[in-house]
Structure 1
């Protein structure tokens, strides 16, 4: 698959999210678009007590949100500001307990068609090489 340059920068995607999905910042901004590359994106979720569940681990729903958002951001970076691209499937493997610090999601798009995009996301505790969560997902792109 040939890699084409992204249509949107990290700053442009961030501005789009701020404008179209301000609800992701309720309780304070914790999701940050760090990079958009060809068929890829990197996001960070800041550590906050609201993400901690009993047992001292970061919650699965927080990691799921980060993975879903990272895939959406990677797709937007490639196709432009399409607000109605929607998740059709997500699958998660929680591999180890994340540290109580920021999480970094590295997303790559495996297939980008006219109607569907498929990608995978690796989530790590910031500063650690071990993957704590691996996700795969499919998005439907409106025609």
Structure 2
């Protein structure tokens, strides 16, 4: 891990420069970065990031429900940014596994991804993401993932 800050501007730069064009088309925004524990942090504090996916009809399937593919891409992208925050800088990685448990549908609402790094390793890193509807702040999906650090 690097001994420097990974701030929100750097996270936004990675989002704009590193990801595939179709991921950039989701118009995700970085809302917060947590690369160091605050002074009053709980013993189980974990580094992470919060990303927002703005609601768009283009992301919906029949019935106006935000499609699972968009939600999974949001979770994967948020976890990459969270790992970079924990690492305090850019490091190439690739998704090895992602398990998504959909809890309920989300309609006509932005979605927040709260991504937390459970373990930052030299060769593998693991995390969890909670996706929530901004309209009512209720979870819509829980995601666990593993990344190979390259």
Is TM-score (shorter-chain normalized) higher than 0.5? yes
Q: Count residues in correspondence.
A: 136
1:34 pairs, out of 31, 34, 45, with 31
Q: Point out where structure 2 has 5 or more consecutive residues left out of the alignment.
A: 36-46
Distance 1:5 1:25, change over 3 A: same
TM-score w.r.t. length of structure 1: 0.87
- Cα distance in 1 for residues equivalent to 2:131 and 2:63: 20
Q: Point out where structure 1 has 5 or more consecutive residues left out of the alignment.
A: none
Superposed CA RMSD: 1.8
- Cα distance in 2 for residues equivalent to 1:37 and 1:5: 14
TM-score w.r.t. length of structure 2: 0.83
Match of 2:139 in 1: 131
Q: Which runs of 4+ in 1 moved over 4 A?
A: none
Report if aligned partners of 2:111, 2:131 keep a CA contact under 8 Å in 1: yes
> What does 1:27-66 align with in structure 2 at a 5 Å threshold?
30-38=27-35, 39-66=47-74
- Cα distance in 2 for residues equivalent to 1:37 and 1:59: 28
